[in-house]
Amino acid sequence: MNVRALTDEILKRAAGAARFVVAIAGPPGAGKSTLSEALAKALVAAGEKTAVLPMDGFHMDNAVLEEKGLLARKGAPETFDFRSFLSTVVAVRANDGEVLVPIFDRSRELAIASARVVAPETRIILVEGNYLMLDEAPWNRLDGAFDFSIFIDPGLEVIERRLLQRWFEHGYDDETAKAKAFGNDIPNARRVLGSCRPADLVIRDF
């Protein structure tokens, strides 16, 4: 399904809703950010006030991860501030005022609190992240938190290739890129693919 068809599907499902929250989930390297940005652009072009809410803004700080012995696993489900993320999703869906949300600054590898505003007049919210449909505690508490859910699964072979390429593009050599991808990213991808709740729509060709 292409971006235009997805946009039409979201608009159809959102008809009459004052606030409509879409989950865009999938393993690392699936293309969630790319799809979210494309959909947001298409929805704005269609006249819809739209915002993207990335889960990445809820990364625990490196100092906290180091204290917990989780720094090497950064990006795994247990390295996110789930409680704050859940509270934010609930507040965004309730739409009873503006909601301040964090963003993740990749250049500094840290989350910045209250860095973006979701305004009350924003009708469509695209929540993007690896673990939105993960069927493990506490992430399974998100069940029912979204009006429409999309899961991207291009297959593990494609994901592995993309994750390796991501590290190459960050300037890492072959050995280091493989260590990073197969030591953390790909196990996280397998975890998502092996334990996820059913989504309203699954995309395999993105």
Predicted confidence (pLDDT) per residue in 116-125, tens digit:
999 999 999 9
Count structural domains, the chain: 1
Give mean pLDDT, residues 175-196.
90
Chain-wide mean pLDDT for the chain? 94
C-alpha closest to that of 130 among 189, 63, 72, 184: 189
The yes-or-no verdict on residue 206 having pLDDT over 80 is: no
Q: What percent of the chain stands above pLDDT 70?
A: 100
pLDDT band at 107 (very low <50, low <70, confident <90, very high): confident
Q: Residue 122 has which token pair?
A: 């924003």
Closest by CA to 124, choosing from 147, 150, 157, is 147
Range of the domain at 56: 3-203
pLDDT score, position 177: 85
Residues 6-19: pLDDT tens digits? 999 999 999 999 99
Give tens-digit pLDDT for 41-75.
Answer: 999 999 999 999 999 999 999 999 999 999 999 99
Q: Tens digits of per-residue pLDDT, 149-185?
A: 999 999 999 999 999 888 888 888 888 888 888 888 9
CATH number of the domain bearing residue 179 = 3.40.50.300
